[in-house]
Amino acid sequence: MSPRGQRRRTPRDELADETAYGDLYLRRLRRAQLGLSLLALVAFGGLVGSLPLLLALAPGLRHVDILHIPIAVWLVTVPVYPLFVAIAAAYRRRANALDESFRDLVRDE
Amino acid sequence: MIAIAAVALVTFGAIGLGGWGVRFARTTSDLYVASRAISPWWNAAAVSGEYLSAASFLGIAGLEMKLGVPALWQSIGFTAGYLALLLFVAAPLRRFGSYTIPDFAEGRLGSRRLRMLAVGAVVGIAGFYLIPQLKGAGIALQEVTGAPYWVGIALVGAIVVLNVALGGMRGITYVQAFQFWVKTFAIAVPAIVLLIHLGGLPDRATLFGDGLPRAPAGGVTITLDHYQRVTFPRAVSYEDGAIRGRAAAGESLVLAPGVVRLAAGAVIPVAAGTRVQTGNSWSRPVGSGGEASPVFIYSLLIATFLGTMGLPHILVRFYTNPDGTAARTTTVRVLGLLGVFYLFPAVYGALGRVMAPGLYLTGQTDTVVLRLPERAWPGVGGQVLGALVAAGAFAAFMSTSSGLLVSVAGTVSFDLWGRGRGRPSTAVRRRRFRISAVAGIIVPALIALGARSVDISILVGWAFALAASTFCPMFVLGIWWPRLTSRGAAAGMLAGGLLASSAIVIGLVVGASHLGGALDALLTQPAIVSVPVAFAAMIGVSLMSERPAGVAAHMLALHAPEGLGLGARVGAGEDGRGATLSAEPVTPT
């Protein structure tokens, strides 16, 4: 689909000149990154965002103890923090990989 | 005495590090964004150090003691904010390469008026955040040393302005990283040592069962310096100065200034405004009313989740990363560091309920972190731990105030002062930055001086609600939605900011707690309504206004990974690495 009859152009040229092709490349990257962010947001919302609702709807959790402390108290003090880091680290790896494949596209062809 | 020494040590440590950093502050870029060459670990510790304020160090534990376990949603929200920042803002914002938030607003949307609106929001948010820090410093120094209230404010104000004005951003970065470790050490070590000393959490009935807080062995002795109205949940004998009395269950009376004594095991009377709760109700993470209701908790989580990205002192620190990838790495590490810190405030609230219940009588639960060590472990051990938490509290006041002051001084000197008359020289800019820093601390310090007996804890919540309702939608839409226009952004920021502020003002005037239910929660923390309204206004007005031109270059600057010679300098065209790219034919697939 490259424009015929002209000098052959690289993706980098298309991006640098802000052509329609360049725009297409970049839009694809932006949408992929946004999709990844929204996926991570859904994971966060499902795991942490649902916690207040879960605790409100299942008051029985207060009567189950671990190490003499109700499980409901545990849930809001300790496990959420490692969970944040896990979601963040997974997101970072995927986001950097998306950037890297974009670099490959622009650099290598 | 030990406490004074510890506070002095932290203070002089900060001054010394700031002085060391001064040697680096040579150029304007050093002053504003530390020449963008701070490594992710330093930066993560600095971001966390800057972020952990009086609200985190003293406030959460105090609120937990007073309201119960629902207060811990604050720490979850304060941390979660960095996840939102990571997912939607960190890397693109760094790649776009602006100095300040107003700089981004104008750079992305090309409107000078929008920039001024952003300046107003920055100054408002930073001011709301700064006043409670200074007040906290005044009260904490009074608690620890008995000095007058103004001494702490003057001390912290002077040190902070000295550090900021002399070192700028680069010096401050090392100070902030140092303060993070001071704070984490100062909150973690006493908590762990006290838990070991007490052999775990004492008195489960008071914490999780049907018990009420009772005077521990040896009784409770409190010196009141003013008349205090209290309610007795159970019939109890008490001594108030020379008076020996017996109050009936449910009786409310006014105690005179002087020494109040309660025998061991007596159920503690509580100050007016504090709710009597059994351990059962205290330990319920989600309750039915007020600040334990699901509506309030979700609104708080939204404000903190989305508001963190709009805090000016946090964002300016993301510009000091070398590139977008480093900005992501920094944010992940911030989440880890904050997660370690926030494990500990909960311990103080719980131990305070059992070991320092006298604070329920005076209503000063927000000093529990400072008071707990000596109550739980009388003697030298408690004194040493008390000195440690006092030093940590001072680190909290100083680091957050420094960060806020850098952002205010940067915004005022860079955005407001003498624009449009060419580029001023480095010397002129530096002088403006320093004058702005001095002015930026004097005004909040004067307000804090006047607010000695006013409850201003709502200001931090207000700052988060404002940030979430103004800057969050501007960043998220500005970065991810090319169609956003400057008119749309202005409309959304105004709608969100005015709605959030008027809700809080109405709540203050009417007295939200009398209304009860969902309305009470919404007037105290309106983000759950004001943030969607701000997003809707931005999108709606943008769609009604003309399609913006020249967005492609902005999107390239925001989203193109570094190392390609693209991005911000694409308009200039010339880049060394560009020439090395091969000229193979390409077919977009």
C-alpha B185/C-alpha B198 separation (Å) is: 20
Q: What is the pLDDT of residue B19?
A: 62
Which domains are present in chain B?
A: 2-201+280-418+432-544 (1.20.1730.10), 213-276 (no CATH)
Give the closest of B88, B570, B585 to A2, CB-based. Answer: B585
Give the closest of B69, B294, B335 to A76, CB-based. Answer: B69
Give B585's pLDDT tier (boundaries 50, 70, 90): very low
Give the closest of B87, B335, B480 to A41, CB-based. Answer: B87
Name the pTM for this structure.
0.87
Mean pLDDT value across residues B392-412: 87
Question: Is the residue at A4 inside a domain?
Answer: no
Residues with Cβ within 8 Å of residue A95, at least 6 apart in sequence:
A33, A36, A37, B91, B328
Helix (H/G/I), strand (E/B), else coil: A38: helix
- Torsion over CA: B379, B384, B390, B396 (sign): negative
Question: Is the residue at A94 inside a domain?
Answer: yes
**How far, in Å, are A9, A24, A28, B339, B573 from residue A3 at the CA level?**
8, 15, 20, 53, 21
Type of residue numbered B302: I
CB atoms within 10 A of CB B528: 21
Q: What is the pLDDT of residue A108?
A: 62
Question: Is the residue at A100 inside a domain?
Answer: yes
> Structurally, how many domains does chain A consist of?
1
Give B365's pLDDT tier (boundaries 50, 70, 90): confident
Partners of B292 on chain A (C-beta within 8 Å) are none
Q: Two tokens at B480? A: 């991810």
Is the CB of A74 inside 8 Å of chain B's CB atoms?
no
Mean pLDDT value across residues B305-316: 87
The CB-side HSE value for B556 (13 A sphere, CA atoms) comes to: 27
Stronger pLDDT, A41 or A109, i.e. the higher one: A41
SS3 content of chain A, % helix, strand, coil (to 5): 75, 5, 20
C-alpha B345/C-alpha B95 separation (Å) is: 36
Helices and strands: H and E segment counts in chain B: 25, 7
C-alpha B109/C-alpha B99 separation (Å) is: 15
Q: Is the pLDDT of residue B333 over 70?
A: yes
Judge contact between B308 and B317, C-beta under 8 A.
Answer: no
| A:B CB pairs within 8 Å | 168
Judging by beta carbons within 10 Å of its beta carbon (0-12, 13-18, 19+), is residue B370 exposed, middle or buried? Answer: buried
Q: Do A70 and B586 touch (CB under 8 A)?
A: no
Q: Is the pLDDT of residue B512 over 90?
A: no
Q: What is the pLDDT of residue B339?
A: 94
Question: Is the residue at A49 inside a domain?
Answer: yes
State how far residue A77 is from chain B, nearest Cα, in angstroms.
6
Task: Give the largest CA-CA distance in chain B.
Answer: 97
Judge contact between B40 and B330, C-beta under 8 A.
Answer: yes
Closest CA to B396 of B59, B77, B122, B128: B59
Closest CA to B460 of B43, B48, B60, B9: B60
Give the closest of A2, A81, A102 to B339, CB-based. Answer: A81
Q: What is the pLDDT of residue B170?
A: 55
Give B581's pLDDT tier (boundaries 50, 70, 90): very low
Is the CB of B76 inside 8 Å of chain A's CB atoms?
yes
Give B100's pLDDT tier (boundaries 50, 70, 90): confident
C-alpha B585/C-alpha B589 separation (Å) is: 13
Give B225's pLDDT tier (boundaries 50, 70, 90): confident
Q: What is the pLDDT of residue B256?
A: 84
Range in B44-53, B197-206, B407-416, B451-460 with the lowest mean pLDDT: B451-460
Question: Is the residue at A31 inside a domain?
Answer: yes
Partners of B346 on chain A (C-beta within 8 Å) are 77
Q: Do B332 and A85 touch (CB under 8 A)?
A: yes
Is the CB of B574 inside 8 Å of chain A's CB atoms?
no
Q: Domain containing A19: what range?
A: 11-108
Q: What is the pLDDT of residue B36?
A: 54
Q: What is the pLDDT of residue B584?
A: 27
Judge contact between B140 and B60, C-beta under 8 A.
Answer: no
Residues with Cβ within 8 Å of residue B265, at least 6 apart in sequence:
B214, B215
Closest CA to B206 of B64, B344, B66, B353: B353
- Torsion over CA: B455, B456, B460, B466 (sign): positive
C-alpha B123/C-alpha B102 separation (Å) is: 11
β pairing state of A69-70 and A65-66: antiparallel
Helix (H/G/I), strand (E/B), else coil: B244: strand
Is the CB of B584 inside 8 Å of chain A's CB atoms?
yes
Q: What is the pLDDT of residue B513?
A: 63
Question: Is the residue at A2 inside a domain?
Answer: no
Write the pLDDT tens digit of every residue in B249-308.
888 888 888 888 888 888 889 888 788 888 888 988 888 777 788 888 999 999 999 999
C-alpha B462/C-alpha B444 separation (Å) is: 16
Q: What is the pLDDT of residue B26?
A: 54
Give B418's pLDDT tier (boundaries 50, 70, 90): low
Write the pLDDT tens digit of every residue in B443-485.
999 998 888 777 677 788 889 999 999 999 999 999 999 999 9
Q: What is the pLDDT of residue B209?
A: 84
Q: What is the pLDDT of residue B21?
A: 59
Instruction: Sheet with B228-231: list strands edge to edge.
Output: B252-255, B228-231, B270-271
CB atoms within 10 A of CB B325: 22
Range in A57-61, B343-347, B407-411, B557-561 with the lowest mean pLDDT: A57-61
Find the angle CA(B50)-CA(B54)-CA(B56) to the nearest 5 degrees.
80
Q: Two tokens at A62? A: 């207060």
**High-pLDDT (> 90) share of chain A, %:** 40
Question: Is the residue at A25 inside a domain?
Answer: yes
State how far residue A35 is from chain B, nearest Cα, in angstroms.
10
Q: What is the pLDDT of residue B423?
A: 66
The CB-side HSE value for A96 (13 A sphere, CA atoms) comes to: 14
Q: Is the pLDDT of residue B325 over 80?
A: yes
Helices B486-510 and B527-544 cross at an angle (nearest 10°) of: 150
Mean pLDDT value across residues A5-11: 65
Residues pairing with B270 in the sheet: B231
For chain B positions 195-234, those within 8 Å of chain A (CB to CB) are: 200-201, 204, 208
**Taking the CA atoms of chain B, what radius of gyration do you get in angstroms?**
25
Give B189's pLDDT tier (boundaries 50, 70, 90): very high
Residues pairing with B253 in the sheet: B230
Residues pairing with B228 in the sheet: B255
**High-pLDDT (> 70) share of chain B, %:** 88
Judge contact between A94 and A36, C-beta under 8 A.
Answer: yes
Write the pLDDT tens digit of every residue in B526-547.
999 999 999 999 999 999 998 8
C-alpha B448/C-alpha B293 separation (Å) is: 31
Can you tell me which residue has the tokens 């009141």?
B224
Question: Is the residue at A85 inside a domain?
Answer: yes
Q: Is the pLDDT of residue B99 over 90?
A: no
**Helix segments in B286-357, DSSP class H:** 294-307, 312-318, 324-341, 345-355
Q: Two tokens at B243? A: 């008076």
Site from B79, B82, B86 to mutate, A interface, most A CB atoms within 10 angstroms:
B86
Mean predicted lDDT score pLDDT of chain B? 83
Closest CA to B213 of B430, B3, B368, B386: B368
C-alpha A77/C-alpha B403 separation (Å) is: 28
**Helix segments in B199-240, DSSP class H:** 204-208
CB atoms within 10 A of CB A68: 10
Q: What is the pLDDT of residue A6?
A: 58
Q: Is the pLDDT of residue B431 over 50?
A: yes
Q: What is the pLDDT of residue B27?
A: 56
Q: Is the pLDDT of residue B75 over 90?
A: yes
Q: What is the pLDDT of residue B33?
A: 52
Is the CB of A93 inside 8 Å of chain B's CB atoms?
no
Residues pairing with B258 in the sheet: B224
Q: What is the pLDDT of residue B307?
A: 92
C-alpha B535/C-alpha B302 separation (Å) is: 13
Closest CA to B227 of B244, B241, B216, B212: B241
Nearest CA in chain A to B479: A30
Q: Do A26 and B559 touch (CB under 8 A)?
A: yes
Residues pairing with B237 in the sheet: B246
Q: What is the pLDDT of residue B515?
A: 64
